[in-house]
Amino acid sequence: MMRAQWALWLGLLLVGAGCSTSRVVRLDTGSGTSLVHKPFTEDDSGPSTVRGGPWTPRFRKIFRKAGMELKDSENIVPLEGHKGPHPQAYHERVFDQLNGATANCRKVEECREALTRALQKLAKEVSTRGTDLNKLVTQGR
Residue 137 lies in a domain: yes
- The answer as to whether 113 is a domain residue is yes
pLDDT of residue 27: 62
In a domain, 73, yes or no: yes
Confidence class for position 29, pLDDT limits 50, 70, 90: low
To the question of pTM greater than 0.85 for the whole model, the response is no
Instruction: Estimate the share of the chain in helix, then strand, then coil, as percent rounded to the nearest 5.
Output: 55, 5, 35
Concatenating the DSSP letter of every residue in 64-105 gives HHTT--TTSGGGEEEEET---SPPHHHHHHHHHHHHHHHTT-
Does position 25 have pLDDT exceeding 80, yes or no?
no
DSSP character string of 117-133: HHHHHHHHHHTSTTSHH
Query: How confident is the model over 13-27, as a mean pLDDT?
Result: 43
Domain coverage including residue 81: 54-141
Q: Which residues have C-beta within 8 Å of that of residue 80, sequence separation ≥ 6?
A: 21, 22, 23, 138
Q: Which residues pair with 13 in a beta bridge?
A: none
Residue 3 lies inside a defined structural domain of this protein: no
Structural domains of the chain, count: 1
Task: Give residue 61's pLDDT band: very low, low, confident or very high (50, 70, 90).
Answer: very high
Instruction: Output the average pLDDT for the chain.
Output: 72
Compute CA 28 distance to the chain's CA centroid, rounded to the nearest angstrom.
Answer: 6
